A and B are shown apart, each in its own frame.
Chain A
Amino acid sequence: GENVEQHPSTLSVQEGDSAVIKCTYSDSASNYFPWYKQELGKRPQLIIDIRSNVGEKKDQRIAVTLNKTAKHFSLHITETQPEDSAVYFCAADSPPYNQGGKLIFGQGTELSVKP
Chain B
Amino acid sequence: GAVVSQHPSRVICKSGTSVKIECRSLDFQATTMFWYRQFPKQSLMLMATSNEGSKATYEQGVEKDKFLINHASLTLSTLTVTSAHPEDSSFYICSARAPLSRNTEAFFGQGTRLTVV
Contacts and interface: CB of A to CB of B under 8 A. Distances in A.
B73 to A, nearest CB: 17
Interface in A26-65: 32, 34, 41-46, 49
A106 B43 CA distance: 7
Interface string B89-117: 00101010111100111101111010000
Nearest to B103: A49
Size class of A's contact patch?
20 to 34
A49 B41 contact: no
Contact of A108 (B43, B110, B113): B43
Interface in B37-71: 41-44, 46, 49
Nearest to A100: B97
B106 A46 contact: yes
A98 B108 CA distance: 18
A107 B45 CA distance: 9
B104 A32 contact: yes
A105 B43 contact: yes
Given A100-B99, A102-B34, A102-B49, A43 B43 contact: no
Nearest to B95: A103
A33 to B, nearest CB: 12
A104 B46 contact: yes
Given A42-B110, A98-B100, A49 B105 contact: yes
Interface of A: 32, 34, 41-46, 49, 87, 89, 91, 93, 98-108, 110
